[in-house]
Amino acid sequence: MANEFQGGPADSVGFELDPVILELGQLFQDAGHELSLVGGPVRDLFLGRESLDLDFTTDATPDRTVAVIKPWADTYWEIGKAFGTIGLRKAGFQIEITTYRAESYDPESRKPAVAFGTSLKDDLFRRDFTINAMALRLPGLQLVDPFGGLKDLRAGILATPGRAEDSFSDDPLRMMRAARFASQLDVRVSADVLAAMTDMAERITIISAERVRDELVKLINGARPRVGVDLLVETGLADRMLPEVSALRLEADEHHRHKDVYQHSLQVLEQAAALETGDDGAVPGPDFVLRFAALLHDIGKPSTRRFENGGAVSFRHHDVVGAKLAAKRMKTLRFDNDTIKAVARLVELHMRFYGYGDAGWTDSAVRRYVTDAGPLLERLHRLTRSDVTTRNRRKAERLAFAYDDLESRVTELQEREVLDSVRPDLDGQRIMELLGLKPSPVVGRAYKHLLELRMEHGPLDPERAEAELLAWWADQPESRAEEAGPHGDGADARPDTDDADPSREDS
């Protein structure tokens, strides 16, 4: 039966703990050691959030911890033993138990020099923020909160146990964690934390790209990503790790001839997140690819901005430029190739829809839209809709109506045709048989011609497809060279090579 902890007179929050937690606490107490649930899991208990990853701290050395948990755990590992951490799994919970620590840092290094401590209060003091510097002693369920973390949590304030400058000097990644918590937990940073983040932003450059990337993903996937991104930009942290977003704050001209691209991008991010669907929907949230593409969709504008005659402002080809900038930045942050390609492709395609409402599209254009988007189509739908931030209601309604119409046409075509993987009506093997060719670039050209016909007219029956291919072939120089015979010009027009075989169906 689960026990319930009720704080002191000032604490009206109660919660239940899983028996696994209490059982582990009893094991350590019986062995003569202290054990406390600590950090994020304690914070989440007060927020009513469930956590399957549990962090504990103890006065036991790593070797003593192994001796206590070895007979009880489903499995355990000692990968973090040098840092005082033993990991284990029990009844579906992932658990880490760390010996009290008193760390010191080399100011020029991102790696702490670990020294084991003997005091729970000292261990809590070294933690990043007061809301994470609370502990629950086990198995007696006594709340240990020496730095007012519960008070700060209720007030929605992010503060540090000691001086913010000392905390961020010890581990500069904590500055990004502050922005991430602002996004995830709907808290605001205290004045001294904000000042320290601003003054010390340059120190983020000593942190590995992988750690920065992981914090950025958590921030973007938070409940209020706009707040977190704005904090990165305001403090100058974004200048060091996401400068393309900072650059969106285009210098406002005195005549206000263009909208605020930075605030527009934040609004698009916010609107895209709101269009995510549930776990069983087309784009389950939080979806990092959609959200990050929404944030970056206009990063090509600063370098493509031009002031035209008459005072107009243009950003020609900012979609293509932005896609390249997005890919380059994500590579620097060590994102995987699939994520990079997906985000960059959405940035590249985000302007494709505009013009549909003015002139309409042929079925061919709709097919191209679907096939170019491929598996990103549902995300592209949401990104395009999110990109409408105008305050002109009539314009917003017109764009929404036009996109409703486009989606309806996409659905109708998908019901008649398989658009997700459009291919020519003849495969490479059949092309070679009909034209008497071996694998060569000519086959690739023929394949591309048939694909264009498929896009333009939809599915063709085999007889018409073959007739169209033969008609195309009659106009090709290679066909005329064959007719000229072995002594004519270009008699050897069919290279016998397998290099870059374009005749495969997956070309």
218 and 284 in contact (C-beta within 8 Å)? no
The per-residue pLDDT for 118 is 84
Residue 441: partners with Cβ closer than 8 Å, 6 or more residues away: 495, 500, 502
Q: What is the pLDDT of residues 374-410, one digit of tens each?
A: 889 999 999 999 998 888 888 888 888 888 888 888 8
Looking at this protein, which amino acid is placed at residue 35? L
Laid out side by side, the sheet with 85-90 consists of 75-77, 85-90, 93-99, 53-58, 35-38, 135-138, 142-144
Find the Cα–Cα–Cα–Cα dihedral 113, 119, 123, 124, rounded to 10°: -160
23 burial type by CB count under 10 A (0-12 exposed, 13-18 middle, 19+ buried): middle
The per-residue pLDDT for 493 is 41
Q: What is the pLDDT of residues 405-426, one digit of tens each?
A: 888 888 877 776 655 556 666 7
Q: What is the pLDDT of residues 43-80, one digit of tens each?
A: 999 998 887 789 999 999 999 999 999 999 999 999 99
**Which pair of structure tokens corresponds to residue 195?**
């000042």
Q: Encode 153-188 in three state secondary structure.
A: HHHCEECCCCCHHHHHHHCCHHHHHHHHHHHHHCCE
Supply the pTM of this predicted model.
0.78
What's the CA gap between 226 and 182, in Å, rounded?
Answer: 9
The per-residue pLDDT for 2 is 40
Q: Do the strands 93-99 and 53-58 form a parallel or antiparallel pair, or are they unpaired?
A: parallel
Going by C-alpha positions, the residue among 161, 77, 79 that lies closest to residue 126 is 161
Q: What is the pLDDT of residues 461-472, one digit of tens each?
A: 788 878 877 888
Lowest mean pLDDT among 62-71, 142-151, 422-431: 422-431
What's the CA gap between 140 and 123, in Å, rounded?
Answer: 19
What's the CA gap between 412 and 206, in Å, rounded?
Answer: 53
Residue 164: partners with Cβ closer than 8 Å, 6 or more residues away: 190, 192, 193, 195, 196, 197
* Statement: residue 82 has pLDDT above 70: yes
Percent with pLDDT over 70 in the chain: 83
What's the CA gap between 238 and 230, in Å, rounded?
Answer: 9
8 burial type by CB count under 10 A (0-12 exposed, 13-18 middle, 19+ buried): exposed
330 and 356 in contact (C-beta within 8 Å)? no
DSSP 52-112: SEEEEEESS-HHHHHHHHTTT-SEEE-TTGGGTEEEEEETTEEEEEEE-B--EE-TT-SSE
Residues in the chain: 507
97 and 85 in contact (C-beta within 8 Å)? yes
What's the CA gap between 267 and 159, in Å, rounded?
Answer: 28
Q: What is the pLDDT of residues 261-311, one digit of tens each?
A: 999 999 999 999 999 987 768 899 899 999 999 999 999 999 888 887 777
The per-residue pLDDT for 417 is 61
What's the CA gap between 128 and 230, in Å, rounded?
Answer: 21
Local structure of 428: helix, strand or coil: helix
Residue 26, CA atoms < 13 Å, CB-side half-sphere:
6
The per-residue pLDDT for 256 is 44
The per-residue pLDDT for 425 is 64
For residues 241-264, average pLDDT: 75
* Statement: residue 499 has pLDDT above 50: no
Pick the CATH number of 161-241 from 1.20.1260.10, 3.40.50.2000, 1.10.110.30, 1.10.340.30: 1.10.110.30
What's the CA gap between 355 and 94, in Å, rounded?
Answer: 52
Sign of CA dihedral 481, 485, 488, 489: positive
Residue listed under structure tokens 């010009």: 489
What's the CA gap between 448 and 221, in Å, rounded?
Answer: 40
Inter-residue long-range contacts of 500-505, CB under 8 Å, 24+ positions, other chains counted: 500/441, 501/439, 501/443, 502/428, 502/439, 502/441, 502/443, 502/444, 502/447, 503/428, 503/429, 503/431, 503/432, 503/439, 503/443, 503/444, 503/447, 504/428, 505/423, 505/427, 505/428
What's the CA gap between 497 and 473, in Å, rounded?
Answer: 20
The per-residue pLDDT for 485 is 54
* Statement: residue 172 has pLDDT above 90: yes
* Statement: residue 140 has pLDDT above 70: yes
Q: What is the pLDDT of residues 89-100, one digit of tens each?
A: 999 899 999 999
Q: Do the strands 305-307 and 313-315 form a parallel or antiparallel pair, or are they unpaired?
A: antiparallel
**Which pair of structure tokens corresponds to residue 490?**
């270009």
Q: What is the pLDDT of residues 341-375, one digit of tens each?
A: 999 999 999 998 886 756 667 777 888 888 888 88
Looking at this protein, which amino acid is placed at residue 229? V
Count the Cβ atoms, other than its own, within 10 Å of residue 16: 11
Q: Give the residue with greater pLDDT, 238 vs 458.
A: 238
Q: What is the pLDDT of residues 314-328, one digit of tens each?
A: 888 899 999 999 999
Pick the CATH number of 4-155 from 3.50.30.10, 3.30.460.10, 3.40.50.2300, 3.40.1280.10: 3.30.460.10
Determine phi and psi for 168, rounding to 5 degrees.
Answer: -75, -25
* Statement: residue 10 has pLDDT above 70: no
**Which pair of structure tokens corresponds to residue 202?**
């340059």
Local structure of 314: helix, strand or coil: strand
**Position 494 confidence tier, pLDDT thresholds 50, 70, 90:** very low
**DSSP-assigned letter for residue 130:** G
The per-residue pLDDT for 149 is 97
Q: Give me the chain's average pLDDT, please.
A: 84
Angle made by CA atoms 47, 49, 54, in degrees to the nearest 5: 110
